[in-house]
């Protein structure tokens, strides 16, 4: 039971920081929870909804959302989410588990060996010029 709370805590913290808390949740659900990869990814998407809503509220209050760009992003996101879900179902859980592991490994290696871009969030950092 303690592992479930720890996974939920770290998932929430990482998700609120915008760095991908779903990675922790998916690993917990597949390794410790006994879920197959497809089910774990589906649970992760459901878990993401309240976090995304809270993020939209906070970012909106801080004036960080460009509302004119929401509709095209929303339409595109829904279309590709449906295509991604269909592709995941077609690929199957065993292959998804390997693809997910490779993705995590590549991201980890990138973070270890490549320094960050000098541009942050599309804004130029004047101190490095």
Q: Does residue 128 register a pLDDT over 70?
A: no
User: What pLDDT is recorded for position 129?
Assistant: 47
Q: Is the pLDDT score of 6 beyond 70? A: yes
Describe the chain by its helix, strand, coil percentages, rounded to 5. 80, 5, 20
Q: Residues with Cβ < 8 Å from 26, sequence gap 6 or more?
A: 37, 40, 41, 44, 100
Averaged pLDDT, 9-37: 82
Q: Token match 């993401």: residue?
A: 48
What pLDDT is stored for residue 102 in this prediction? 92
């Amino acid at each position: 039971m303690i592992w479930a709370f720890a996974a939920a805590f770290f998932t929430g913290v990482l998700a609120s920081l915008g760095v991908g808390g779903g990675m922790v949740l998916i690993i917990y659900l597949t390794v410790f929870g006994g879920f197959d990869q497809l089910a774990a990814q589906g649970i992760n998407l459901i878990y993401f909804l309240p976090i995304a809503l809270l993020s939209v509220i906070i970012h909106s209050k801080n004036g960080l959302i460009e509302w004119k760009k929401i509709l095209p992003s929303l339409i595109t996101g829904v279309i590709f989410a449906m295509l991604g879900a269909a592709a995941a179902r077609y690929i199957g859980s065993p292959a998804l588990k390997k693809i997910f592991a490779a993705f995590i490994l590549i991201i980890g290696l990138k973070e270890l060996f490549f320094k960050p871009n000098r541009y942050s969030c599309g804004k130029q950092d004047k101190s490095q010029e």
